[in-house]
Amino acid sequence: MNTIAKNAVNRLLIVAICLLTACEIPTHVRIAGAANPIFVLSGSGRLACFVIYAADYAEKAESPRDENVALWKISAKEGNLNGRLWRLKRIVYGVVPEGYVQLKPQVGSYPPPLEGGKKYFFEVDTANAPGATGYVEIRRSQAVLTDGSYPCFGGEGKKWVRVPCPP
């Protein structure tokens, strides 16, 4: 191989490595477990916060991320940038992982069990990559991903108001 070809191959290799290492991999969630779901996470972001909302979130939420309807919320202890999604491969509902603190319900309390046949909205907030949202449902004592409706909000001054969702 001549020098020009070697240089071209080396440059292409350097560009490929730069592109592969600089890419943000969106967060992906799989569900495992029975009535107590296990959220299996993948992606390149750092886990900042994880929240599961009540089954009536879509009807009762008064703002995006309305903590009044949150059942369980955990957050990175040292701020949003310290949680590592790629190290934290799974979150068991109600079990606070090392490096995180429980914000809802109050520390020391266990969140209510998820009831069969109801859909629960969850949100995975990450830094340095897109997070994920979805719904989990308990069907025949198994946790499964499912579809659900999302409320839509618009700002009116300093207050959130419900607006029709786009088609």
| Domains annotated on the chain, with CATH | 25-151 (2.60.40)
Per-residue pLDDT of the chain (167 residues; tens, 9 = 90+): 676 656 555 565 554 554 455 578 888 999 998 889 999 999 888 888 999 999 999 899 999 889 999 999 999 887 656 555 556 788 999 999 988 999 999 988 999 999 999 999 999 998 888 999 999 999 999 999 999 888 889 987 788 988 988 88
What is the C-alpha separation between 74 and 101, in angstroms, rounded? 5
Residue closest to 129 by CA, chosen among 86, 160, 93: 86
Main-chain dihedrals φ then ψ at residue 147, nearest 5 degrees: -95, 155
Residue appearing with tokens 């997070």: 131
pTM score of the predicted model: 0.80
Instruction: Record the tokens describing residue 54, joined without a space.
Output: 């009540």
Cα atoms in the Cβ-side hemisphere of radius 13 Å centred on 35 = 8
DSSP 8-state assignment for residue 106: -
Burial of 143 (0-12, 13-18, 19+ CB in 10 A): buried
Count how many Cα atoms sit within 13 Å of the Cα of residue 147 in the half-sphere of its side chain: 0
Strands 100-104, 119-127: parallel, antiparallel or unpaired by DSSP? unpaired
